Structure 1
Amino acid sequence: MRRLLTVLCVAVVSLVAAPVARAELIPWFASQVGGATQVISVVGVGGSDAKLDVYERTAAGWQAIAAGVPAKIGSKGMSPDHYDGSLLTPMGIYTLDFAFGTQPNPGGGLQYVQVGPNHWWDGDMKSPTYNLMQVCEKSKCPFSTSLSDGTENLDIPQYAHAVVMGVNKERVPGKGGAFFLHTTDGGATAGCVAIDDAMMVKLIKWLRPGALIAVSK
């Protein structure tokens, strides 16, 4: 009997002391991003507010690099049906093509363009360079530079640091353009995703070609 109790005690101690297997982290977008190893997740939490989480895939699986970063999105929220002037942040999985900003390049793996007064994002739906960055003096630009036509001058505080989201890369007129992840001014956006500038700098330093941004409610 004493031996049996000893064996049972050892078994119980061994069971309690056994390491607990950690559940694999599987983000909501995992089945939609192919072989991407860097993904920025943006999930709406109501109105023009969202939370931003940062993930990296390693040999051990997905790892959370940052979580719960406050973000602002379009003043009308988000939708899969985006279009010019909708004030909606487009839902979906998008490339992060290159970075830009009024401030010097903080470093990182993406191409970086330091912008000034002659840098524009062409929003003129009649222009052959619609939804592309262009460099020209305002009086000599071959497209409308009017904000009412959708064109943005990139020399503004909200673009201290920014990364271009690959929305409407086919450049279909009317399907929207100038969607960026950029520095926040504290308010809702016209359809972009905006976060604190210090976090923007960290992300630009971290990002590499092939990174994606995943946007959902």
Structure 2
Amino acid sequence: MGCRVLEQLPDRRLQGSWVQTEQVAHEAWMILTAKSPVGAQIMHALTARLGDHNAVVISQVSLAKIIGRSERAVRTAISILKADNWIEVRQLGNAATVNAYVINDRVAWTVKRDGIRYSLFSAAVVVSEEEQPDRESLGRQAALRRIPDLLQSEAQMPAGQGLPPISQPALPMMEPDLPATRRTYDLETGELLD
């Protein structure tokens, strides 16, 4: 296999959109549907957005719009889901209106030197255009700076003058690595593998 130059990075392949659950979970979900129809709707809405993650970050306003219910109904149903151990809720910021809803796994907590416990987890994040302070300019923002992608066999080779003021160049072969993402591509097809 040889190395080939890609004109454009390939699009990431879409994975199947299915969720696997156990039969006992379906039977419990049936009971939940009778106890709290809105809670069952919320579980479907959150589970449908899990992707590769165990958590979804979404505001209660957006969740209410997605399921077509009031914010109060969402709050009540979330209380039931928490009490019955369907979800774990982690608040983001001071307002309890935006939360991370953990579906399957417990969040792992670590303790820093300052004594405050922190948690790091991945989540699908759902935001609504209506909740954005800059919603009038959405779609017209300046492009973000691009972080270069490196193929497995590639190395960084900084070139050019750099940003002003021009500084003393680094010693040959001693250039610092720049921030970059490392992705694995099939060299024959150019397909993203990870």
- TM-score of the pair, normalised by structure 1: 0.21
Between Structure 1 and Structure 2, the one with more helix by share is: 2
Between Structure 1 and Structure 2, the one with more strand by share is: 1
